[in-house]
Structure 1
Amino acid sequence: MTETEFKQWFINNFQNFEKNLNGEKTSSFHLIRKDALSKFSSLNVPTTKDEEWKYTSISPLVKHSFNVIPPKVEIASELVGKFLFDQLEHHLMVFVNGEFRKDLSKLDELPQTVEVTSLSNAIKNNHPALLNHFGKYAEDSNNLFTALNSAYTKDGAFILIPKGKVVEDPIHIIFINKAENESLVTQPRNLFIAEENSQLTIIEHYASDDEGIYFSNSVTEIYLGENTFVDHIKLQEESKKAFHIARMEVDQERNSNFSSHMISTGAVFSRNEFTTRFNGEGGESMLNGLFMIDGEQFFDAHTMIDHAKPYCNSHEHYKGILEDKARGVFNGKVMVRPDAQKTNAFQENNTILLSDDAVMNSKPQLEIFADDVKCSHGATVGKLNEEAKFYLKSRGIGEEAATAMLIHAFASDVITTIKIEALRDYLEKIITQKFNQ
């Protein structure tokens, strides 16, 4: 299948998708879908000739004809339990093949007036907040995969935290894909709205327990009102035959605080686009990431921090560990606009290559149009510190154990910024198992 045929596949299958909406194609929201499909039709499939996709070829993805209507599958609660990291002390939303499963979820102890529901339910009820925020941040006029997601939007997580509300326990959202013998595509659409003086922790978790071929094309929009704190963790534990393209757009008002932690071990092909914008003074943003890939896996992180207002701080640190013939890309941009005086921005990317065949392309960028700022960026790509390894071996520690200890120390820098202790332990276990410590 060529790039043109790949695009035409989704255009031709849109009518089948409409028939699966249970009469919803007469709703006002469906006009948004049809408009997005029109934009999708007019956009070109990205190639390595496009600057933003210079090191990222989607040719492995376009070879597949994905079923746009994922089959309904039954899964046991024990499978969900494999991806939990505590004794269900948090709020839980479970999606299976893109569809919300109330029977596997746990949302019965939320604070009054806090709304946590499926996007399909918000669409059905014409929720005013949905209509006000949907597509406002993840604009789809110039992004093919966002337009595709908007056109095929059916379900996802919808969270609304009213003014002054604090949700103390994390909300854990698990997207489980089970392809079995069929190539399928799921297109989760998430909208998280935190109004002024509210607080929220979200875990966005993509997982699979089989090695099926599927394509997850997700879009997450997050709005932070004034004096709001949102902590967002994204985990990617997917099939080594899966494709994952995701976009997260964050809009921050005055004195809001946003932190992001991205941990990825899964998917044969993965691209994550993160953008956060400061719309008021005094905002803070932290983007941390850790990707650990091997075999012929590919991981791409494209980030953008938009300092549009003065007196804002941002801190970004992405780390990668690549084995075998794995390939990684980090393209991080910090934009400081003319009026954004007193900006403080830090950006760094560090990568360890554990084999001669692993490849990393790193491109940290600063675009500064203000003169009273403090900004720095940097990148390192290399092998493990031989001196440190020699020191450990001189203390009687074997080669493999010394290597595993150094890798664990390198990765733990990102893990320790996560505030949820049970989740830190869960991730530490993943690192330990992966590198045989």
Structure 2
Amino acid sequence: MATGDEFPLPGSTYRGPAPHFARFRAEQPVVRVPATGGGHAWLVTRYDDVRAVLNDVRFSRAASYAPDAPRFPGLFQAPPGMIISLDPPDHTRLRTLVAQAFSVERIEGMRPRVAQLVDELLDRADSEAVTAPVDLLGRFTFPLALTVIAELLGVPSEDQERFSVWIRQFAAVDGPEDEAIAAREQLGEYMAGLVVGKTAEPGDDVLSALVRARIGEDRLDVGELIGLGYTLLGAGGDSTACQLASSVVTLLARERDTWVRLGEHPEEVPAAVEELLRWVNLPTNDTSGLPRITVEDVEIGGVTIPAGDAVFVSITSANRDEAVFGSPDELDFARGGEHLAFGHGIHQCLGAPLARIELVLALRELTRRFPAARLAVAEQELRWQPADMNHRLLELPIDLHGKGF
């Protein structure tokens, strides 16, 4: 490593991970690096090794909450007890119950409503585009993702704006700690009330289905239901919105011909979405963002990691692994291949099918309606949130009818 560089490493953008990762893949695919604030962490950077870690219970998520576990100030760490914070058998139980509410039929049944929301939001954005560029982040990507998740949970429309504020405060890794704590408490109180309401009077939504889920006499308790609400709001809302926004920037700034082609050939949009999921670098620290702790000495990629050390897997680096994806830094919309954008193994994202529906329907309609769309400012002038879980724009000014860059 270059002298003075610490994890999280400098140089990460939505276009790709810090330049260190290419060198790590070539020379030190499992590497020990100093961490900001003291201590160290291990980074796993190659595709096969990342998959191996994600499949190995000796790399423990739950152990990262032990009092003596390594700490990484400035990195978001999910609260304990959430599904992404557990190991088997606790995780297996929770995942089995949750899977009952995330059936293929239920998620696929949301497609018409997502399509309706896409149409309504784009109608509104187009009406505002007559005289000025439109902030597609504020007018489309975030309203779409947050509305879908809120409706999934059965949250009334009048409460969705409050949800948006709480989520941003809760997820901001460099924001005031008291603000994040207050937002978490407000979300918790609201989710508790929602759970009580759904228990007394279930609706046709996923939260009600989670309330009804059973394994024999076992069921999810209130705390677990609240934690699942957090997970859906953060991963399903923020991550989907940021991925969609970065995908739009990628196409308009780098692949204008592809944008036009997708509008003319909507059947090609699903493959384009998969390549954008591989290529766009979503997390700001270039890893899954969540440490795993070795519960014993473990060999991975020919390197032995001692028990008790923190390990971060770099999914975005794995998705640029030259051994798996030819010319990985280039966009190839006919590429195919199994990217790791939604993770792998027991913690693979349950909401991936819904995210794919949103991304495909949104890009299909954007490219069809607005073939001449352009960024309203040069790409280098786009303003990004200085620190967050995900690479997140502050705004995305778009000229929907083609007068920008």
Q: TM-score, normalised by structure 2?
A: 0.28
Considering fraction of residues, name the structure with more helix.
Answer: 2
Larger relative CO (CA 8 A, sep 6+): 1 or 2? 2
Considering fraction of residues, name the structure with more strand.
Answer: 1
Q: TM-score, normalised by structure 1?
A: 0.26
